[in-house]
Structure 1
Amino acid sequence: MLFLVGFILLFFMKLYKPSRFLGYSISFFTRGFIEKRAEEKPAIFSTFHVLIFSFCALTLSLFVYTLIPDNQTKNNLISYVYVILFTFIYLIIRRLIDYSFSKLLDLSNYVRYFIFTKVGYLYTLSIWLFPILIAYNYGYKNNYFLWGSFLILIAIRFGLVFYNNKKLIIKHLFYFILYLCALEIAPLFIILKILK
């Protein structure tokens, strides 16, 4: 049922803005799309953005839910509802913090560009993670395959965010490391601790 919801969201994204959906789908391998979108300063409450944000939350929550051992999921639907609520709240709070800091502190375009590239590549990661989750759940049920694929996608995302923002990151390396530890790495460790 959840994969069906994911397919429906993908269908509506492709139907509503096919070129934008394609751009996000292949942005790991093509240059220019994320940069162009960042320069356009798109509205965060547009229809397409709500669709892709919902798809991203669904995919990431499915990934986390897949990692939960079977003996800890007594009621599958209730357990998943907790996971997706946690994922939605986490992503919304992170987005609001990023957006609020950039507005309140009147940060430069470089920081806004950094925030947008980070979010844009997260959307691409979720699009690529979705078929991996399908393959894992309905065929190749191997934890090394799932974790390996996820870590490769995270590494590509991190590399592209760093490459596209290298001037800003190198100039403020100490703050970037603090940010990375607090908002990128720490949540993964918290999730792993909860799953244990």
Structure 2
Amino acid sequence: MNPIARTIEPVDWMTILIFLGLLLLALGKYLYQTRFMNFLILPFNNKYISLYNKKGRLLSWFHLLMTLFQIINISLFAYLALRTLMPDLLARMSSPFLMILAITTLLLSIKIILQLTKGYVFNTQSLVKEIIYHKLSYFNYSGLIMFAINIFIIYVADSPKHMIYGGIFLIMIINIIGLVNILKNHQKVIISNVFYFILYLCTLEIAPFVLISGYLKH
């Protein structure tokens, strides 16, 4: 009897991440069906923010599920984008996806902590929590776009560059819609505190992108 070599293909870790994302979506829909359906139409109808902004806010289980879903998918999207657009940079990284995941989680956590600290210092905790919830909801919705694009890039697209640029464009549009709604809903407060608003934009919105782009250039 001659020995037969059996080759066991390694599990595709990106498929595991896609499955995990799908599991989080299914769990969110199963446990919070009405809230999930309102979340799906977020960019077209502000009903989700109006209904759930005061109910648990940042620490609700549905919001935490969608935030985890978003972190996984934005990290995977960033990995795929770097693999396509900057392969040399990715090659220099040790465990690149885990590094991107850690950086994404750390940046998001630091940003939220700084925003909450700013709200405490200026005694605007309620307003800051409301704005954070509003922004994170739209950012979490971006996770749905990234999830779909990740699937297309991994399993369908032969040339993913256009998918990546299209995904970045859609994510920007969704978050711009969220920012416009924030400005519209809080225009009186922003006008009366325009200096602090500009300071907030420079330190917590613009500065992280400047630092990241500077790192990628070098």
TM-score (norm 1): 0.84
Higher relative contact order (CA 8 A, sep 6+): 1
Q: Is the contact between residue 63 and residue 133 of structure 1 (CA under 8 Å) also seen in structure 2?
A: yes
In structure 1, runs of 5+ residues without a counterpart are none
2:25 corresponds to 1:10: yes
Listed one character per residue, the Cα deviations across residues 27-82 of structure 1 (whole Å, up to 9, x for unaligned) are 11112221221223x16444323311211211222232223222333388810000
TM-score norm. by structure 2 comes to 0.76
For the pair 1:66 / 2:80, whether they are aligned, the reply is yes
Q: What is the aligned counterpart of 1:98 among 115, 137, 140?
A: 115
Partner residue, 2:170:
149
* Alignment correspondent of 1:112: 129
The equivalent position to 2:99 in structure 1, one of 57, 77, 82, is 82
Q: Are 2:212 and 1:191 equivalent residues in the alignment?
A: yes
| Gap regions ≥5 residues in structure 2 | 1-14
Aligned to 2:7: none
Q: 1:178 and 2:211 equivalent? A: no
Alignment root-mean-square deviation, CA? 2.5
Determine if the alignment matches structure 1 residue 53 to structure 2 residue 70.
no
Shift of the 107–63 alpha-carbon distance from structure 1 to 2, 3 Å rule, reads: same
Larger radius of gyration: 2
Secondary structure in structure 2 of the residue aligned to 1:39: coil
Identity, % of aligned pairs? Answer: 27
Q: Residue 32 of structure 1: which of 35, 47, 55 is its match?
A: 47
- Number of equivalent positions: 195
